[in-house]
Structure 1
């Protein structure tokens, strides 16, 4: 039952995450209101006599009003979204292009679009369904006034739309949004792993296992990003055949069709139905989802910093802002170690998967920034400050890793500081602030 339901559930999830989800619901609500306005005939609903003053004298006046309203709404929609696409295309040149689609699909943009489309649909229904009689009835006249109120509401939404769009593409807003989304992803991961069924085991790969293991390979049948997997269901499948599942990917990896997706350590080879059910518990998605994978949020902040350091942008201030946010996120990551295994109710190992190490994260986010900003002393000092701050929360191998990166940053600073004043400036800040690294007191002078 799970395999046939997997694809409809995937389609439903993709629709809920698309830009069409909220506008479709709002347009449906307006459509139902439109039906309520055009279906009842005069006399079907008795209206109080004191409302006679709202009736239009003739049909032409009503249709002229409605035609003017719908023409104005269409112009408003065209102008609004021409403006937002122009602003977002400019933002795509300044920030990472991955952020542009996320800005378009924000909920407040969808809300405005849904009200625009719903108002047009409502007025269009009033125009298409004729009214019996020589003059519009009270009910149809009230519906026309409701259309006027909807247009006025859309004008207010237009002002709100301009305000939110201008805020959306501000650097501080974009960086803060990425930081908040990644923080929530980290908190969700930490909370989920509080379950006693999650555990940390030594990393193992099928190639490193002994020949005594009875490994059975299961290959994928589609291409895409595997955002996550239902580890609890996979553990139940493994318990059913009294085996262990070794996932051959990290959540968020891009896998190909016919890729060795997982290996099963069991005495008997799983049947095709079992393999299909296991594949059905892999959650595919489009692009990089920060809500599911915190690593994507870190890499997008890094990409923003690298983009800001490019010669075409030349904005080291944005790069330093991204480094500050990355420092806080890496500090949150140091508070816990992600689990890489799930146990059954009898504490027996059932599922393992590769987990992103802290070393990999540091290399992924700091090395590109250092590479593209090695000539900028302020960027090097910002990275050094970040490493010193992280050393206050790191122990053992993680602190040794931070020490090695700090030495690499200091080496880059020494190469970039050609002038005595530059070296004096750096020397005054090498050991400043709280940290637990072993750093030199000065770079030395080069005549």
Structure 2
């Protein structure tokens, strides 16, 4: 039962990343609030307020209808305009920066809440308009409910002004990269603070039984703590061999287990692997390296030709790698000082190679970019700690590769000599 509840809550959490989740939720709340107001009107709240505070009640039927009709048309227009602006933002981000940025921009909570407020306002005004009696006297008119429609409209206008400000900031690449960096930084700091790994705490897994994946998609999340509890319960160790964030095909090995397990136990373990067709930095910090690298590469393309953005991207990559150096290449999940689950992670060598391979390929002809990359690698080398001494050799190899490619692409001898003098 516990596993089923955890599975349900994980799926519910995933729904929050959908662009329609919060608008739908707020729309339903607006619908419920409408009927709360209708219930209060049936109890005579407008009649009571008309006698006590007449200024709070709209007591003219034509005025109420005109207001509500205008509000509905205005809110629909605002919502269409806002949706168009979001589409323009997504199109520009995809064309000028990277298509990988789209999931993060679509999942912007603030914009979803604003869209939901519009929908709630439209539903509220529509149902209150329908409720108005065609030939009723002033006490049958939902005057107090109409006052709330005015408040709804004022809030929607304020939200629209905020939306225009937010969208103008959201479309700037520096703000996009800064958001990606902050989310990734938060994720890496959490992993660094909570990771445990001691050499020899987990046995060799070459002869273990393998479970083949029945699904295809990006491995978005692995609930290592819950898998560890299952492993402890059945006195078995689990080795998750797929790196989170990578695409898993059907029949690929998903995990290995130490001894024979019942089918229902394996099914319980599989439930704690979440697959998705899209990727989010919140779940996988490696995606931040990919996104920022692609922004730099796209900025250096002939169609964009924006080396300033590429230089900014390298600054963010330098900060991310400085954090990644502090993290170990392997991760184990412990219960009572016993390692029950081993989680595969992308190692530092593979990560920096993937980033540098792209940047070297597309930026090796630009002296300024090569200089910036070289300084980044030298900085990383200077902050490597003794326990991660092997990272120095990896960085030396990347420095050598960068200089080699630069010598092949740059024809000016003075530029080459300058680059070599830095190294």
Counterparts in 2 of 1:71 and 1:187: CA distance versus 1, 3 Å: same
Instruction: Return the TM-score normalized by structure 1.
Output: 0.86
Counterparts in 2 of 1:54 and 1:233: CA distance versus 1, 3 Å: closer
Counterparts in 2 of 1:48 and 1:137: CA distance versus 1, 3 Å: closer
Counterparts in 2 of 1:200 and 1:13: CA distance versus 1, 3 Å: farther
Which residue does the alignment assign to 2:248? 255
Specify the SS of the correspondent of 1:312: coil
Counterparts in 2 of 1:177 and 1:55: CA distance versus 1, 3 Å: closer
Indicate yes or no: 2:15 matched with 1:15.
yes
Counterparts in 2 of 1:5 and 1:50: CA distance versus 1, 3 Å: closer
Which residue does the alignment assign to 1:25? 25
Task: In structure 1, list runs of 5 or more residues that go unmatched.
Answer: 433-438, 440-447
Preserved CA contact (<8 Å) 1:343 1:351: yes
Which residue does the alignment assign to 1:282? 273
Deviation at 1:4, TM superposition (A): 4.4
Which residue does the alignment assign to 1:435? none
Report the Cα distance in structure 1 between the residues aligned to 2:140 and 2:187, rounded to whole angstroms: 54
Q: 2:238 aligns with which of 242, 245, 269?
A: 245
Counterparts in 2 of 1:286 and 1:189: CA distance versus 1, 3 Å: farther
Specify the SS of the correspondent of 1:350: strand
Which residue does the alignment assign to 1:365? 355
Indicate yes or no: 2:392 matched with 1:402.
no
Indicate yes or no: 2:368 matched with 1:378.
yes
Deviation at 1:50, TM superposition (A): 4.5
Which residue does the alignment assign to 1:337? 328
Report the Cα distance in structure 2 between the residues aligned to 1:71 and 1:144, rounded to whole angstroms: 16
Aligned-residue RMSD, C-alpha: 2.5
Q: Deviations over 1:288-331 (max 9, x none)?
A: 22112211111111111111122221111111111111011101
Counterparts in 2 of 1:146 and 1:312: CA distance versus 1, 3 Å: same
Indicate yes or no: 2:332 matched with 1:350.
no
Deviation at 1:244, TM superposition (A): 2.3
Q: Deviations over 1:388-419 (max 9, x none)?
A: 11111125221111112112212222233323
Report the Cα distance in structure 1 between the residues aligned to 2:251 and 2:401, rounded to whole angstroms: 41
Indicate yes or no: 2:199 matched with 1:189.
no
Instruction: Return the TM-score normalized by structure 2.
Output: 0.90
Which residue does the alignment assign to 1:445? none
Which residue does the alignment assign to 1:412? 405
Greater shift in the superposed pair: 137-146 or 288-297: 137-146
Counterparts in 2 of 1:192 and 1:165: CA distance versus 1, 3 Å: same
Preserved CA contact (<8 Å) 1:377 1:416: no
Greater shift in the superposed pair: 28-37 or 353-362: 28-37
Deviation at 1:8, TM superposition (A): 3.1
Report the Cα distance in structure 2 between the residues aligned to 1:52 and 1:424, rounded to whole angstroms: 84
Counterparts in 2 of 1:352 and 1:36: CA distance versus 1, 3 Å: closer
Matches within 5 A, 1:254-333: 254-266=247-259, 269-333=260-324
Indicate yes or no: 2:224 matched with 1:222.
no
Indicate yes or no: 2:90 matched with 1:97.
no
Preserved CA contact (<8 Å) 2:7 2:272: no
Deviation at 1:20, TM superposition (A): 2.5
The number of aligned residues is 418
Q: Deviations over 1:179-207 (max 9, x none)?
A: 1111011011112215xxx545599875x
Preserved CA contact (<8 Å) 2:202 2:339: no
Preserved CA contact (<8 Å) 2:50 2:57: no
Counterparts in 2 of 1:75 and 1:410: CA distance versus 1, 3 Å: same
Preserved CA contact (<8 Å) 1:320 1:379: yes
Matches within 5 A, 1:16-165: 16-41=16-41, 44-45=44-45, 46-47=48-49, 49-52=51-54, 55-56=57-58, 58-131=60-133, 134-137=136-139, 140-165=142-167
Which residue does the alignment assign to 1:444? none
Preserved CA contact (<8 Å) 2:279 2:287: yes
Q: Deviations over 1:14-33 (max 9, x none)?
A: 21222223223322332233
Counterparts in 2 of 1:144 and 1:236: CA distance versus 1, 3 Å: closer
Counterparts in 2 of 1:227 and 1:56: CA distance versus 1, 3 Å: closer
Which residue does the alignment assign to 1:442? none
Counterparts in 2 of 1:90 and 1:231: CA distance versus 1, 3 Å: closer
Report the Cα distance in structure 2 between the residues aligned to 1:139 and 1:25, rounded to whole angstroms: 29
Higher helix share: 2
